[in-house]
Amino acid sequence: FTFGAFHDNELVGIVTLKQERLIKLRHRANIVAMYVSPHKRNLGIGRKLISRCIEQAKLLEHIEQIYLTVVSTNTSAKNLYLSLGFKSFSEEVRALKINDTYIDEEHMVLFIK
């Protein structure tokens, strides 16, 4: 499921909720591709998008928990996820590499059942 946020017919935010398909993982969903346009940040758009993913996940038959990954230094995003009930459960050091720079990521989960 992909949800978008629009302002004056302009796409200003997007997020995707992806269900796991494998039988042993079908109780899980992942939030991926979260993005809010820089000129529209801090207006509650990200909160609405993530909340919509949570609402959708609760409607799905097998989903019990939602996972997401966030860059460890992205304090505003981490605070948003924490305020919605997500909990951090691990940090992946050097998860991304852009040119010669490594970026750590934090893994978070929200239990909905």
- Neighbouring CB atoms inside 10 A of 14's CB total 16
Token pair in block for residue 104: 């750590």
Domain ranges of the chain: 2-111
Superfamily of domain 2-111: Gcn5-related N-acetyltransferase (GNAT) (3.40.630.30)
pLDDT tens-digit map of 36-92: 999 999 999 999 999 999 999 999 999 999 999 999 999 999 999 999 999 999 999
- Is the pTM higher than 0.85? yes
pLDDT tens-digit map of 69-85: 999 999 999 999 999 99
The reported pLDDT for the residue numbered 43 is 94
The number of residues making up the chain comes to 113
The reported pLDDT for the residue numbered 45 is 97
SS3 call for 80: helix
